[in-house]
Amino acid sequence: MLQVTVALPSGQGETFSLEPSSKVGDLRILAQKSFQRGFLRLVAADHSVVDPAVSLQAARLEDGDHLTAIAVEARLAATDRAFALFFCGGDQVVTLCDPDWGGDSSQVQGQLAGVQQVPASYGAFAAILTDGSVVTWGSPHFGGDSSEVQDQLKSVQQVQGTRVLSDLGAGAFAAILADGSVVTWGDEYDGANSWEVQDQLKGVQQVQATNGAFVAIRTDGSVVTWGDPDLGGNSSRVQDRLKGVQQIQATDRAFAAFLSDGSVVTWGDPDYGGDSSEVQDRLKSVQQIQASDSAFAAILADGSVVTWGNPASGGDTSAFLAHFAYV
């Protein structure tokens, strides 16, 4: 039997006795129960993470060794009908609820090594792994099947999914690679049709999505849009104004771009915030923009707030400010 001591950074420790053939993961489970922590990462004296999948012997642990246990925060992702629980750097994703909408990850569980992020579309998940690859599951209609682009999904930096309002719709994912290019998959009418603008998708730093369209911010502050034109996939009406873009927020059917000069440019469905003409003269020195499902709110440098879009979702400025005054 090996005697291995595991201690938290606080100094609290416990010594465990295990067979040399036991997995490091078994030791971790004992430590998690003893310290009443949801998930721990075991770190050796040389600051390397000890692989939970190997035996104590294979990890070269000896009798009397000490390991440090680092608590890792649990993270939760969700589609419309399923949840995914994971830990950054972990080798497992726990899924539940509707299996057809991402609630069953059993077929890909063996591929989930070193999970970093788990973005979601309306009905599918896409896990970004430590090596920069992506594993997807859930409804193929919402991007759960990435087999057609799997060989392109390397050195992935970010993944963004679209979402939809009804079961009749579909969805897509867009992945930014390390070289600034973009790979999309899913339903071509809801954002997977990036081949139409593929020659423009270079130097991409960020991607944002509505229910069925994407917008990419490039390093030069310009943007590229694609997907359903009614949901923000066509920015031609305001393209000449989309320069020096710092940030983009999205409602279900429209985009709002915050520019370096403090102004805002919007496009997409007017009823969902795509038309800011009525408040455009007030959208100056903007500091931050936030979105609901169908309205936008901007905080200005003087601390005032400007809203537009669907009044029922916060687009009625007067109603919003009446409540804001009491905060």
pLDDT tier for residue 317 given thresholds of 50, 70 and 90? low
pLDDT tier for residue 90 given thresholds of 50, 70 and 90? confident
Tell me which of 12-16, 35-39, 216-220, 225-229 is least confident: 35-39
Domain extent listing, the chain: 2-71, 74-191
What pLDDT is recorded for position 326? 40
Amino acid at the residue 221:
G
**pLDDT digits 0-9 by tens, 116-148:** 999 999 899 999 999 999 999 999 989 999 999
Tell me: pLDDT of 252 over 60: yes
CA distances (Å), 100 to each of 2, 115, 135, 138, 139, in order?
45, 21, 16, 6, 6
Q: Is there a contact between 162 and 121 (Cβ–Cβ < 8 Å)?
A: yes
Query: What CATH topology corresponds to 74-191?
Result: Methylamine Dehydrogenase; Chain H (2.130.10)
Q: Average pLDDT, stretch 84-112?
A: 90
CA distances (Å), 40 to each of 16, 75, 110, 127, in order?
15, 14, 20, 20
pLDDT tier for residue 327 given thresholds of 50, 70 and 90? very low
SS3 320: helix
Separation between Cα atoms, residue 77 and residue 137, nearest integer Å: 13
pLDDT tier for residue 312 given thresholds of 50, 70 and 90? confident
Separation between Cα atoms, residue 100 and residue 15, nearest integer Å: 44
The tokens describing 224, both together, are: 């590229």
Q: Average pLDDT, stretch 265-286?
A: 94
What pLDDT is recorded for position 136? 97
Could you say which of 3.30.1330.10, 3.10.20.90, 3.30.300.30, 3.20.20.80 is the CATH number of the domain covering 2-71? 3.10.20.90
What pLDDT is recorded for position 184? 95
**pLDDT digits 0-9 by tens, 208-225:** 999 989 999 999 999 999
Q: How far does CA 190 lie from the centroid of its chain?
A: 18
What pLDDT is recorded for position 113? 85
What pLDDT is recorded for position 36? 87
What pLDDT is recorded for position 78? 92
User: What value does the mean pLDDT of the chain take?
Assistant: 89
Other beta carbons within 10 angstroms of residue 256's beta carbon come to: 29
Q: Any bridge partners for residue 128, and if so which?
A: 117, 134
What pLDDT is recorded for position 294? 92
Amino acid at the residue 96:
L
What pLDDT is recorded for position 69? 93
SS3 196: helix
Place of tokens 């594993």: 135
3-state secondary structure 49-82: ECCCCCECCCCCCCCCCEEEEEECCEEEEECCCE
What pLDDT is recorded for position 91? 81
Percent of the chain exceeding pLDDT 90 equals 73
Tell me which of 11-25, 31-45, 93-107, 156-170 is least confident: 156-170
Q: Is there a contact between 196 and 227 (Cβ–Cβ < 8 Å)?
A: no
